[in-house]
Amino acid sequence: MEINKSLFDNLQNFFGFDNFKGDQEAIITSILQKKDTFVIMPTGGGKSICYQLPALMSDGTAIVISPLIALMKNQVDQLRAFGGTDSIAHFLNSSLNKSEITRVKEDVTSGSTKLLYVAPESLTKQENIDFLRGISISFVAVDEAHCISEWGHDFRPEYRRIRQVIDNIGENIPIIALTATATPKVQQDIQKNLQMNNAALFKSSFNRPNLFYEVRAKRNVIKEIVRYAKMNSGKSGIVYCLSRKKVEEVAEALKLNGIKALPYHAGLDPKTRAETQDNFLMEDVDVIVATIAFGMGIDKPDVRYVIHHDIPKSMEGYYQETGRSGRDGGEGVCVAFYSQKDIDKLTKFMKDKPVSEREIGTQILKEVIDYAESSVCRRKQILHYFGENFNETGCNNMCDNCRHPKKYFDAEAPLLRALTLIRDLGEKFDDQHILNIILGIENSQVASYEHSKLPEFASGKEEGEILWKSLLRQAVLNNFLLKDIDNYGLLKLTKSGKAFIENPYSLKFILNYLMDDAEDEVEEAQQQGGALDTQLLQMLKDLRKKIAKQKSLPPFVVFQDPSLDEMCTHYPVSVEELKQIQGVGSGKAMKFGQPFIELIKKYVEDNDIDRPVDLVIKSAANKSALKVSIIQNIDRQIALEDIASAKGITYDDILKELETIVNSGTKLNLNYYIDEMIEDDRQEEVYDYFRSTETDSIDNALAELGTDDYTREEIQLMRIKFLSELGN
């Protein structure tokens, strides 16, 4: 490749593009002129070309420092596909064996390798330093440079040694640092650590206009995710979870519901992870459920949605992970689920960290909480975090907050009070302390400064916490206040803030909405799924009666009322779907299901009913670990009291569990236990009663059979035996 060819020819010949995006041309020119260059460009902006093209055009080999093996492999594969030869790009990391390392070094020494990708850990090995000293290096590119800063979201201590190693390898080697997320603080850290304060700086806007941002309260979250994936079937998506266990659980639920999904986390072996990544790129899999270990550098342009099952730990992490959707400029939906429980978990997780790390972590997490709870345009908040001012009218309703009607409040008087208080206290406190004073919350810090004696103490109690939280958040977003991130998040007045105190004017702020927190609530008969179809319900009850008569059984043995109710909101039309109805299970679906399915199918067709897409979301936890364990213990004929105490539950609880198990169609043989407890003739009497009654009510049975002769538990046990033997 001749170096004197124009940049555009090279771009066209090698990558097949006709023109550069944004600052790419200026960045590449800067690198070709051997200048230190610092590039801050959002995901999808085309960062890699910024160092790949000048590497191909320069003498020698460019060293690219990259944090993830998967990312290197992905980029090397692409370069080889473009460049036509395997030796044009290589990586050097712990995944290679001896002979592979020898081959890489030979290709580099011969001059045929233009880009050598290295992990920071490999870079610091003495043998590699010695090797690199002996070759001609065009420049060093530090990719994902935010890993240098403790204020970034992927801090890697090895990154802080990069400068030292480069100085060891040779003199005057130009450096290009690249990152997709850098707050002003992280930017300073990178420049200081890499000693590139005089570098040419290229910072693109962080706005991704095609991405839609939404935060939802965390309720029935796995169902919501499955429902979303079903409604967008065939589209590529990523679901992020904080724990490996949750990754496996969500991936399993998606698979159960017919979605091509795979889990991805650090607990899987490298071969499986590589295959999973390839399957996703090749579109053999639609959805990857992953911990944040996934996706760095995954160059898949058509990821259509990114869902956060748990609220992320930092705004940088959130921005980078959501940035993996819609890289081609097409649709990209970003949904994050938020609950106080997640925040408590993350806070608890930080308690064991060293003090400085905990301080930083708390500051970073606070930004995420403020973002999730605020009703202000999401885009405005994200861009403000990265030091960019944005007018929310430019959002074009591409976030949930801009789409929803807002509540405004007059902010002039409360803003004046807050700013004056912050000034009078010498700008030495964070927002939480200011809130505590205004709301009259006396904690140890307020007491130690004697701030409960201030006239402002409890002065804002009447307006309430939501208003003051909204006010302080927006005072920062609208640049009346500055959060001193370096210094525990203390609030400082800006020029505008000082001017406002001198000369207040009328303005309105948006009131936050309350994120109602109802994580993983028990799903009551799932009737919220839609209004009950009373016409169908009557038809199902008639059918149940008819079948019960044919089989000489009471109707409740066939299906109980809550099961029929649910059939009328979800319209199951196959045995698979029927199994997911509460209280049905596999046994009952096979035994009694067919006529019910046929009736529902015909009813849906005749009445042109639009069945809910989510139908019944199948959950893998139908037989939870507890239920499985109870069934196994009963097979081993262990007394119910003993099972209950071993499981740490009450006798009452175990009877409830047994009822759920038999109601959903599993047969249980409890004779070994019941025969010990209740004589044969009394058993028969209860059995005959249930055979002849229309209802399975225990109260009715006690009234009929007499409370002197039977206890509630005995009736309950007999009802379980009866349903198990006749219904399943």
What is the arithmetic mean of pLDDT over 387-405? 89
Which tokens belong to 403? 């789409």
With a cut of 70, say whether residue 518 has pLDDT above it.
no
User: pLDDT band for position 529 (50/70/90)?
Assistant: very low
Top pLDDT among 510 and 299 is at 510
Top pLDDT among 666 and 683 is at 683
Q: What percent of the chain has pLDDT over 70?
A: 93
Check: pTM over 0.85? Answer yes or no.
Answer: no
Confidence at residue 2, expressed as pLDDT on a 0 to 100 scale: 44
Beta bridge partners of 288: 238, 262
What is the arithmetic mean of pLDDT over 389-413? 90
Residues 57 and 182 in one domain: yes
CATH number at residue 341: 3.40.50.300
Residue range(s) defining the domain that contains residue 417: 408-510
Residues 226 and 173 in one domain: no
Count of the separate structural domains present in the chain = 5
With a cut of 70, say whether residue 400 has pLDDT above it.
yes
With a cut of 80, say whether residue 4 has pLDDT above it.
no
Q: Report phi then psi at 467, rounded to 5.
A: -60, -45
What's the distance, Cα to Cα, between the start and end of the chain in Å? 75
User: pLDDT band for position 620 (50/70/90)?
Assistant: low
Confidence at residue 1, expressed as pLDDT on a 0 to 100 scale: 41
The tens digit of pLDDT for each residue in 687-727 reads 888 888 877 888 888 888 887 788 888 888 988 888 888 76
User: pLDDT band for position 554 (50/70/90)?
Assistant: confident
- Which of 74-78, 320-324, 687-691 has the least mean pLDDT? 74-78
Confidence at residue 296, expressed as pLDDT on a 0 to 100 scale: 52
Q: What percent of the chain has pLDDT over 90?
A: 41
Residues 615 and 628 in one domain: no
Q: Give the chain's length.
A: 728
Domain boundary among 484, 510, 536: 510
Alpha-carbon gap, residue 402 to 532, rounded angstroms: 33
User: pLDDT band for position 11 (50/70/90)?
Assistant: confident
Residue 652, domain member (yes or no) = yes
What is the arithmetic mean of pLDDT over 110-123? 90
Residues 215 and 188 in one domain: no
With a cut of 90, say whether residue 489 has pLDDT above it.
no
CATH number at residue 597: 1.10.150.80
Confidence at residue 531, expressed as pLDDT on a 0 to 100 scale: 59
Residues 270 and 321 in one domain: yes
The closest of 581, 586, 599, 589 to 541, measured between CA atoms, is 599
Confidence at residue 511, expressed as pLDDT on a 0 to 100 scale: 92
Residue 399, domain member (yes or no) = no
Residues 168 and 250 in one domain: no
Confidence at residue 726, expressed as pLDDT on a 0 to 100 scale: 76
Residues 196 and 217 in one domain: no
Confidence at residue 73, expressed as pLDDT on a 0 to 100 scale: 77
Confidence at residue 7, expressed as pLDDT on a 0 to 100 scale: 82
Residues 78 and 182 in one domain: yes
Confidence at residue 605, expressed as pLDDT on a 0 to 100 scale: 87
DSSP state of 113: -
Return the axis-axis angle of helices 625-635 and 640-647, rounded to nearest 10°.
150
What is the arithmetic mean of pLDDT over 586-595? 85
Domain boundary among 332, 348, 364: 348
Residues 65 and 197 in one domain: yes
User: pLDDT band for position 483 (50/70/90)?
Assistant: confident
Confidence at residue 298, expressed as pLDDT on a 0 to 100 scale: 63
Residue 388, domain member (yes or no) = no
Q: Which helix (H) or strand (E) holds 11?
A: none
Q: Decide: helix, strand or coil at residue 397.
A: coil
With a cut of 70, say whether residue 330 has pLDDT above it.
yes
Strand order in the sheet with 303-308: 211-217, 332-338, 303-308, 236-240, 287-290, 261-264
The tens digit of pLDDT for each residue in 208-256 reads 999 999 999 998 899 899 989 988 988 999 999 988 999 999 999 999 8
Confidence at residue 347, expressed as pLDDT on a 0 to 100 scale: 83
Q: Which helix (H) or strand (E) holds 33?
A: none
Residue 362, domain member (yes or no) = no
User: pLDDT band for position 618 (50/70/90)?
Assistant: low
Alpha-carbon gap, residue 653 to 125, rounded angstroms: 60
The closest of 338, 344, 375 to 466, measured between CA atoms, is 375
Report in angstroms the alpha-carbon separations of 136 from 74, 116, 125, 477.
25, 12, 19, 48
Domain boundary among 619, 647, 676: 619
Residue 385, domain member (yes or no) = no
Residue 643, domain member (yes or no) = yes
Residue 383, domain member (yes or no) = no
Rounded mean pLDDT of the chain?
86
Antiparallel, parallel or unpaired: β 61-65 and 332-338: unpaired
CATH number at residue 704: 1.10.10.1390
DSSP state of 347: H
**Residue matched to tokens 């990209």:** 332
Alpha-carbon gap, residue 99 to 717, rounded angstroms: 69
Residues 127 and 225 in one domain: no
Residues 261 and 189 in one domain: no
Residue 394, domain member (yes or no) = no
Residues 275 and 295 in one domain: yes
Which tokens belong to 357? 């790390």
